[in-house]
Structures are given as C-alpha cells and as structure tokens.
Structure 1
Amino acid sequence: VSDMSLYAIYYYYKAIMTRPQDSRLWVALGTCYEKMGKGPESTKCYEKAERLRDREGVVLHRLARLYAKIGLTEKASKCFTESLARKDAEGDTGKDTAEAILFLKQYYQDKGMMEEAANYARRLYDFGGADLEKATQHIRETES
C-alpha cells in the first residue's frame, strides 16, 4: 500500500511542476504524506496550499489538526479559529466544526480564559446527541 502512496507522490510532484499555483495539488500531496505518517512534509504542503488560497476550504482544518498533534497549540488555535469562522459562514455543523469547537474550548480553558472556554462549550449544544452530554460536562468544567 505504501508503494502506491509513493507513486501518487511522484505523480503529484509531476503535476505540481506543470501547475505550481494549484492549491488542490498541494492538498493532495499533503494528504499522501499525512497517510504515510510524514507530518512535517504534510504540514509544508498544507501551508503552501493555504498560501495559494485553498479552493476546497479543507486545508485549514487539516493543518490545525496536524499542528495540534505535534504540540503547536498557538498555530493550531489560529487555524481552528479561522476554519471555524469559515464553517460558520457556510452554516456547516459537521464533525470538523465540533472538533474545532472542542479544541478551542480546551485551549482557552488551559490558558485560564474561562469565559471564552464556556462560550465554546455552549456551542456544543448545537450538535445534540453524544455531543450534548459532552457539552454539559464541559460547561461544568469551565464554571468550576
């Protein structure tokens, strides 16, 4: 399977040589690297795609997730905040939106900014289901 990823990477590089300003190719290359567990390479590709104004609107969230994974919480919070603003403008209430809200709630709670953390915890109520129970728990955490 990883051999197929290597082929994909090779051909994405070939495609990038012909269209270096196409953010979709950089996202695709970053996705290949991410699937192979190559975080730094993936991050560079996603950053390039974002600089080229990602057409699909997916790269900010992926970049935020990678930053969070490697402990760059400041960069992750910036990307999650921007991604969440875009998702709010689109009316998106999917799993990525909930993930961004949970991250930002925890980020502000860790910083001691309980009012901001509580605001994000309250937003979890919009998701219902299992997230409703999490929202109640998170609001209790921020209020104590």
Structure 2
Amino acid sequence: MTSTESPAVLEFLDATAVAGLVDAYLIGLDTAELDDDWARGLFTEDAAVVFPMSRHEGIRGMAEWHRASLAAFARTQHLHSPVVTDVRGNVAKLRANLVSTHVHHPGGDRPPLFVTGTGVSGEARRTDDGRWRLTLLEFTVIWLEGTPPGS
C-alpha cells in the first residue's frame, strides 16, 4: 500500500481483509486443523465468539473450544453470503448470512442432518502490526431443521 492510494481504495482493501477473516474462519471450521496458530491468525487476544448455546472469550482456549463444539458432528459445511462491512478507521463492523449443515455421527437416533440459517454479526480491529483480526463473532439462529446435538 502506498500513500497515493485513494481513501476509497484503502477502504475497499480494509473491507476485503475483514471479509477474508470471516471466509477463513468458516472454511476453517470445515477443513482446517483448529489449533492455536489458526486462532491467532483470526482473532485478537480479547476476542469473543458467541453461539446460541455457548460462548468463549479470549484467544486462550479458542481453538480447543471450537474443536469441542465440532466434535458433536461427523462433518460440517458452512456457506455464507458476502460479508457486509462498515470500516471506520481501525474498527470494522461486519454482517453476513450463513447456512450451516451439520452431519450427525452415524448410528444415532437423529435424522442425519441438522441445518441452521444464521445471522452473523461482529467486529474486527486493526492491530498494532497493521493486520485485521476479529474481536467479536456472534451467531443468531433464524431457522433450523433437524435435531441439534444433546436434544
């Protein structure tokens, strides 16, 4: 980036970086090794992730918390709309829609799939090293089909 880029270009680059964090987070849930490097590449030290039934605050234990949440399923697939961002300096608000398909482990008494339509909202912050990281992701279920784990 150079100082000759217009404010509109800089805002576009920031919005793209923030949206890319959401992309990496959701794809990661389905395919990545969720470890501390994964978490540090996405979240600030004080980040919070809020699911309808649980929440985690702080980067410490973030990867393990996600692994434990996903262990209830044999597989998952997360498909989302484009991420709408509102960048204001070093802080960005974000919003997207998400369809999450959760495949139950075989052999149970549940239907094979648990699917949710979810609203995602959150915030990101530019860190001291100039990188964007998520500070908050919050998921609100709009609709669901099938049986969630533990039901």
Query: Of the two, which has the highest radius of gyration?
Result: 1
Structure having the higher strand fraction is 2
Q: Which has the higher contact order (CA 8 A, sep 6+)?
A: 2
Give the TM-score of the pair, scaled to structure 2: 0.25
